[in-house]
Amino acid sequence: MSISEKRAIVLAAGMGTRMKSALPKVMHKIAGRSMIAHVLAIAGRAGFAQITAVIGPESGALEDEIGRQVPGARIAYQEERLGTAHAVGMARGDIEETDDDILVLYGDTPLIRAQTLTLMSEELTRADLVVLGFEAADPTGYGRLILEANGELAAIREHADASDEERRITLCNSGVMAFRGGVLPGLLDRIGNDNAKEEYYLTDAVELAKQAGLRCAVVTAGEDDVLGINSRPQLAQAEAIMQGRLRAAAMAGGASLHDPASVYFSFDTKIGRDVIIEPCVVFGPGVSIGDDVVIKGFCHIEQARIAKGCVIGPFARLRPGAELAAGVKLGNFVEIKQSRVHEGAKISHLSYIGDAEIGCNANIGAGTITCNYDGFNKNLTKIGEGAFIGSNSALVAPVSIGPGAYIGSGSVITKDVPADALGVARGKQVEKTGWASAFRRANAKKGK
């Protein structure tokens, strides 16, 4: 089966009122990525390149997010929430125009795995309808999957309608379903709303398929994989599960995590071999780390590239656009933003480097600041190879420090300094004998 023969319908019109948020539910993030983006990426990896997303009206931000993730994705709108079959019906035009196999996913189940969807797709070569099930630790409230003696799916029984014997079944319905090409339209036509909520349920498709002599099958996944997120506690639960997966993947790839539970990754963090990550480190999106890097405790890193052999932290912050070449060392309370730090440079303590280029083997003293913003524009500071910047220096951009130059401690540098020169810009020191004693005596008298 080719990619062009598979379409995913992603249901994402839920209001998410339990989230207590102005943001659409599926826009909330896990590991730095929106739930809907996770689902779309997983569908793509499983070969479902054609996407139709069913969303609510006035969901411009969500529509934009879908377009960013899958350019060319189709959008359908569900103005009334009348059940899952009704939501799928909003994409009816896309369903009927081809004989694609159809996968129905949910935008609030971001932990589902691509290999699971691949198994469902493969099962469609032998079945007409496939339901994704899971073994529930506590099945209360879930629809039960009733199997025939030969293992085929006979029915989905909602908890309220199940007999005592059926309620003892722990194989439950996740809601995710797949339909062989051409099967779904006819089933949608026959799904009614004769139930307590007067809604159209996609689960009714199983019974209707069996009546039509179609084969229904079950593929199973782990309970965590099909976790649906409807509240902030469930969002936190999903974050914890995702972080566990990312930590395991990092260690399997050759990284050492001293305290895995305290390290937080983004969905796209790239980590080389023999990397050491100490406790309480947070990675935002867009981070790439080379081999043999040491990241000490309490660092925060986002949209940054760190080359082989760098030592970072503790308490360092790398902001977007930070690029560190091989062997760079950053120390305590150093912040880097939109700057390239070349091979072997050292920035050891209490410094801010923004909109700068730091040459190879340059040494930046404690308390150095690149004054990059003039209130309107960001300006560039260039520090040449082997330059030495004394402690507590302010480099007022745009400014260039030549290769091998020295900047005297405490200087405020506003003009370029040539190669191998000494730049000093500070007030002359003056001592006034006895001034402090006289000052204290004068103020003591005022206090009486």
Q: Which of helix, strand or coil describes residue 411?
A: coil
Give the active site residue among 159, 258, 300, 349.
349
Q: Are 78 and 34 in contact (CB under 8 A)?
A: no
Q: Is 258 noted as a catalytic residue in this protein?
A: no
Q: From 304, 299, 290, 295, select the one nearest 256 (Cα to Cα).
A: 295
Q: Which two tokens stand for residue 1?
A: 């089966």
- Contacting residues for 109 by C-beta, under 8 A, at least 6 apart: 35, 39, 174, 175, 176, 226, 227, 228, 229
Q: Which two tokens stand for residue 243?
A: 């972080």
Mark residue 444 as left, alpha or beta (left: phi above 0; alpha: psi -120 to 50; beta: remaining).
alpha
Which long-range contacts link 23-28 to residues 24+ away (Cβ below 8 Å)? 23/61, 24/55, 24/56, 24/59, 24/61, 24/62, 25/107, 25/108, 25/229, 25/230, 26/62, 26/107, 26/108, 27/61, 27/62, 27/65, 28/229, 28/235
Cα 289 to chain center, whole Å?
A: 17
Q: Which of helix, strand or coil describes residue 330?
A: strand
Q: Which of helix, strand or coil describes residue 234?
A: helix
Q: Are 277 and 255 in contact (CB under 8 A)?
A: yes
Q: Indicate which residues carry an active-site annotation.
A: 349
